Amino acid sequence: QWRGVIAEYADRLPASVTERVVTLREGGTPLIPAEHLSALVGAQVHVKYEGLNPTGSFKDRGMTAAISDAARTGAKAVICASTGNTSASAAAYATKAGMACGVLVPEGKIAMGKLSQAIAHGATLIQVDGNFDDCLDLARKLAEAYPVELVNSVNPARIEGQKTAAFEVVDALGDAPDIHCLPVGNAGNITAYWKGYSEYADSAAPGADGVAVASRRPRMWGFQASGAAPIVLGHPVSHPETIATAIRIGNPASWRQAEAARDESGGLIDAVTDEEILDAHRLLSSREGIFVEPASAASVAGLLKMHVAGKVPAGATVVCTVTGHGLKDPQWALRTADGSDIEPVRVSVDVVSAAGAL
Ligand SMILES: Cc1ncc(COP(=O)(O)O)c(/C=C/C(=O)C(=O)O)c1O
């Protein structure tokens, strides 16, 4: 049975996270060949379905590491700022470790599924009259003033845990892809994937024992929502706006690291509109059978945009990470392209039997 990302990749992780492992058996998520997307863009497209982690998003990879590290130090409480998924994950792992958990979220801008998770796991929820960036500033101040561990992706353990997704992609494909697409919000995930791909391509990396697992590193293609695209614009966005609330972030904590991943990989960071995100969201659920929350679809929306721009080499191997399950924010599946609500069909039994359908 899959033992969780720390046990599975222990030789490539620091002792600070392997010493006292707190796990919900996260990771080992499917890498699904996407036939329709592949035909659409003329490449070999695979979808890394991170919504199938224990709390429904990729955050579990980083949180198992951050909470394990906190458990090692004897921490009794953790805190984080979140657009939702980090708080859901922190609450679950803190509960597993017997720790208290405080979460700061932008008031009214957190998807119901994520809010229910943080509440269900008994987190102390603080709704802040501000955006995610305001929440992160507050969380940093609280972690300095009180004996609580900050578990946002500014915590290096988070990046260590999240880099395991890149290991899994290479272990599944046999090498790194040519291109890796993913959404970019606070920019911890693009930083973590680049670290993972770089370590797998480096024979001198921890745990490599002189053998590089991958023959290359992919080009990293990160995508922000056009209403929340500070890295694309080159300056912070003070009032980020997007229906993809998970990436409604105006001043990413890992901004420089994301630019390094872009530049060192010969990749790009671009923006996609809310409409392109929702189109990709619908395409994934209606043609690939994969249900994601809107922010996740930014990776596929970006791939489609790059295809239209002629930037996807024919036959290239492409991986799109879809970061959170659709059940986190199900309202978007109940709305058609033109915004009208989808009404479930109401049929009385007599009509059905009359139609001879039984
Ligand atoms: C579904 C989903 N997709 C993409 C991102 C962006 O990843 P990063 O670029 O590493 O931030 C997030 C991030 C969420 C939070 O930042 C939080 O939960 O506080 C997410 O939940």
Average pLDDT over residues 299-310: 98
pLDDT at residue 345 above 80?
no
**Which atom of ligand 1 sits closest to the CA of residue 296?**
3
Longest pairwise C-alpha distance within the chain: 72
Q: Which residue has its alpha carbon closest to ligand 1 atom 20?
A: 246
**Which atom of ligand 1 sits closest to the CA of residue 293?**
1
The whole-number pLDDT of residue 357 equals 63
185 in contact with ligand 1, CB cutoff 6 A:
yes
**Which atom of ligand 1 sits closest to the CA of residue 89?**
18
21 C-alpha to center of ligand 1: Å? 23
Q: How far is CA 334 from the centre of its chain?
A: 23
pLDDT at residue 300 above 90?
yes
Q: Which residue has its alpha carbon closest to ligand 1 atom 13?
A: 246
**Which atom of ligand 1 sits closest to the CA of residue 184?**
9
230 in contact with ligand 1, CB cutoff 6 A:
no
Q: What percentage of the chain has pLDDT greater than the value 90?
A: 92
Are 168 and 29 contacting, i.e. CB atoms less than 8 angstroms apart?
yes
pLDDT at residue 75 above 70?
yes
106 in contact with ligand 1, CB cutoff 6 A:
no
Average pLDDT over residues 191-195: 98
The whole-number pLDDT of residue 58 equals 98
203 C-alpha to center of ligand 1: Å? 31
Q: Which residue has its alpha carbon closest to ligand 1 atom 1?
A: 324
Are 223 and 299 contacting, i.e. CB atoms less than 8 angstroms apart?
yes
pLDDT at residue 349 above 80?
no
Token pair for 247: 């990436």
Confidence category of residue 262, pLDDT binned at 50, 70, 90: very high
49-74, pLDDT tens digit by residue?
A: 999 999 999 999 999 999 999 999 99
267-281, pLDDT tens digit by residue?
A: 999 999 999 999 999
251 in contact with ligand 1, CB cutoff 6 A:
no
Candidate from 109, 128, 186 with most ligand 1 atoms within 8 A of CB, to mutate: 186
3-class state of residue 203 by DSSP: coil
22-34, pLDDT tens digit by residue?
A: 999 999 999 999 9
pLDDT at residue 84 above 80?
yes
228-260, pLDDT tens digit by residue?
A: 999 999 999 999 999 999 999 999 999 999 999
The whole-number pLDDT of residue 340 equals 85
Q: Where are the alpha helices (DSSP H) in the chain?
A: 5-8, 15-18, 35-41, 59-72, 85-97, 112-120, 132-145, 156-162, 164-173, 188-200, 230-233, 255-264, 274-283, 298-308, 349-354
pLDDT at residue 335 above 90?
no
Shortest CA distance to 53 belongs to which of 25, 81, 95, 21?
Answer: 25
89-113, pLDDT tens digit by residue?
A: 999 999 999 999 999 999 998 999 9
Confidence category of residue 358, pLDDT binned at 50, 70, 90: low
247 in contact with ligand 1, CB cutoff 6 A:
yes
Average pLDDT over residues 285-310: 98
The whole-number pLDDT of residue 339 equals 81
129-183, pLDDT tens digit by residue?
A: 999 999 999 999 999 999 999 999 999 999 999 999 999 999 999 999 999 999 9
The whole-number pLDDT of residue 212 equals 97
Is the ipTM value over 0.95, yes or no?
yes
189 in contact with ligand 1, CB cutoff 6 A:
yes
When the pLDDT of each residue in the chain is averaged and rounded to a whole number, the result is 96
**Can you give the pTM of this predicted structure?**
0.96
Confidence category of residue 352, pLDDT binned at 50, 70, 90: low
184 in contact with ligand 1, CB cutoff 6 A:
yes
Euclidean distance between the first and the last CA atom of the chain, given in angstroms as a whole number: 43
**Which atom of ligand 1 sits closest to the CA of residue 153?**
10
75 C-alpha to center of ligand 1: Å? 25
What is the residue whose two structure tokens read 């845990």? 161
Candidate from 53, 83, 93, 269 with most ligand 1 atoms within 8 A of CB, to mutate: 83
Q: Which residue has its alpha carbon closest to ligand 1 atom 6?
A: 185
Candidate from 153, 158, 189 with most ligand 1 atoms within 8 A of CB, to mutate: 189
